[in-house]
Chains A and B, each alone.
Chain A
């Protein structure tokens, strides 16, 4: 029976990262299509808490590995431990969310397993036990259907394409897994500089208001508008490069991929790099002074105007609706 193993990533506070729930959905669908079984792995300094949570999401077995060196999802510790687990349970497919940690750990683990990998998959099809993965290439301007030719296969998922898993009635089994870890590791964590935000996480928010060069560095009106709708604030690459916003808030091919109910792009021209990160949004509003800006080609509603004039009015109008 094909075993699908999902790396259920945890945050620094020990909580399960929300992206892991999306990966569990993909893992469950894959296990079902293969007539197999879904397993999950939690690797953390104290894995028990998150593992207890994961077992409620339709997982047959949750493997909990606790070690101090798993802090901050250090790849040199997590990759060999995951590979060892995958081998011991005979996992044929190993996947996780395409988060920073997932992107860092999964290919290194795949190398240990002599497995090929499909990154950032958006969907998959199973026919006769063979999986075809659909993934973006050239910044999402092309979608490729690919098959991997190795017996063990690794994948990372684009979280916007899979709904978060929901709790099922029955709970899986939590098993303690004790990996062989080296006494010393060649990498050490110095410090974590957290981007503190009072707003919802960019990739989970129902509303995202993003700004670009057109903000001229003033994100105040954007933040006020986002707050009036309980939304998150995002930024284009240009705005992050200029140091106006932290890189963690960049929306685009190399930043976060978002798909909220409502995406408002203010003062963003719409380079292909940015579009790759927000094209999947349900409704897109573009506000830009330049009527020729490419952003208008993907927008459901465009407003050719200066965002500095428009955003406060938009906020007032939305607040008036409440």
Chain B
């Protein structure tokens, strides 16, 4: 099966995000970048599915030349090839989904796997927009019943189950109040949650091999899309910090504070 996996270059979640003096962007100095952690889980799941059923994992990203770092990382994990949509201007979730829908039209994957959200915008939208534009079913927040330290996870089995005839996939979704098991006819868009799997590290041979794997360049114009930016950031602010608390010596003084100061008991 062919699996298309959109990945995003994002700030390392360990980085301290600082706002520029004008308050319209973030300071680039000292930032490190990574593959969006949710997308990395999607790559891992794609590789497991392909290992079990044969096929290929194709990764795609939108951005400037620096995006190659993340594409190479996915190739080092084991993806077969990469597509780079060269675009450096800010772009909204609608346009990202429209660009991806064009790639889907060209590549005709059986499955699009991607993170449920990117850890920079935290919008949680692109997979759903894409499913609508590509007229595919969607299963968001893919997870599994087994815990990440279970035997099932250690055996590197995919959590997404392909039917014997390859016509549909079964997904366990994380929803409010429990887990919902759904079945989607392929082709489909599946967005992944944190507990689907534990992504592998790129091996040294994998990193060496990735250097020779192809990255195909595409432009928005070639895809017939004029990207928009309908989501305009007017100002970024730091949330008000909580006032400094106190360390209490024992349970008795904690209960006293909660009762008489915070008045919550």
**Do residues A143 and B236 form an inter-chain contact, with CB atoms below 8 A?**
yes
Chain A: number of interface residues, binned into ranges: 35 or more
Q: Hey, which chain A residues are within 8 Å of B262, CB to CB?
A: 262, 282-283, 300-301
Which B residues are CB-close (under 8 A) to A75?
Answer: 128, 131, 138, 140
Give the complex CA separation of A41 and B176 in angstroms: 20
User: Contacts of A301 on B, CB cut-off 8 Å?
Assistant: 245-248, 254, 257-258, 262
Determine whether the beta carbon of A317 is less than 8 Å from that of B248: no
The secondary-structure label for the interface of chain B is mixed
Chain B residue with Cβ nearest A245 = B147
Residue B28 CB within 8 A of the other chain: no
- Complex contact B183–A321 (CB within 8 A): no
Docked CA distance A104–B142 (Å): 12
Interface string of B236-255 (1 = CB under 8 A from A): 11110011011110111011
Q: Is B222 an interface residue (CB 8 A)?
A: no
Q: B17 and A142: CB pair below 8 A?
A: yes
Among A104, A190, A229, A283, which residue has the most Cβ atoms of chain B within 10 A? A104
| B11-40, CB < 8 A from A | 11, 13, 17, 19, 26
Contacts of A190 in B (CB 8 A): 170, 181-183
Beta-carbon contacts of A88-122 to B below 8 Å, as 1s and 0s?
00000000000111011111101110101111100
B97 on interface, CB distance cutoff 8 Å:
yes
* Chain B residue with Cβ nearest A202: B176
In chain A, residues 116-154, which have Cβ atoms closer than 8 Å to a Cβ of chain B?
A: 116-120, 132, 135-150
Q: Is B145 part of the binding interface, using a Cβ–Cβ cutoff of 8 Å?
A: yes
B204 within 8 A of A: no
Contacts A143-B236, A248-B178 given; indicate if A186 touches B231 (C-beta within 8 A): no
Residue B77 is within 8 A (CB to CB) of chain A in the complex: no
Please, how many angstroms separate the alpha-carbon atoms of A12 and B178 in the complex?
11
Which stretch from A30-38, A54-62, A234-242 is at the chain B interface? A234-242
A145 contact from B13, B237, B238, Cβ within 8 A: B237
Q: Is B179 an interface residue (CB 8 A)?
A: yes
- Tell me whether B199 is interfacial, beta carbon within 8 Å: no
Report B-chain residues with C-beta under 8 Å of the C-beta of A321.
255, 259, 265
Partner of A254, one of B181, B193, B234, B246: B193
B179–A108 CB distance below 8 A: no
Q: A75-B128, A145-B235, A283-B264 are in contact. Are A189 and B248 (CB under 8 A)?
A: no
Chain A residues positioned under 8 Å from B177 (CB to CB): 11-12, 194-195, 248
Tell me which residues across on chain A come within 8 A of B181, comparing CB atoms: 189-193
Which residue, of B119, B128, B237, has the highest number of chain A Cβ atoms within 10 A?
Answer: B128
- A binding-site residues for B, Cβ under 8 Å: 11-12, 17, 72, 75-76, 79, 99-101, 103-108, 110-112, 114, 116-120, 132, 135-150, 185-195, 207, 229, 237, 240-243, 246-248, 253-254, 261-262, 272-273, 279, 282-285, 291, 296-304, 310, 313-314, 317-318, 321
Given contacts A145-B235, A241-B147, 17 further A-B contacts (CB under 8 A): A17-B176, A107-B93, A107-B128, A111-B133, A119-B123, A119-B125, A139-B122, A145-B234, A148-B232, A189-B182, A241-B148, A247-B179, A254-B193, A262-B265, A299-B245, A301-B245, A302-B247
Interfacial residues, chain B to chain A (CB-CB below 8 A): 11, 13, 17, 19, 26, 92-94, 97, 116-117, 119-129, 131-133, 136-141, 143, 145-150, 170, 173-185, 188, 193-195, 228-239, 242-243, 245-248, 250-252, 254-255, 257-259, 262, 264-265
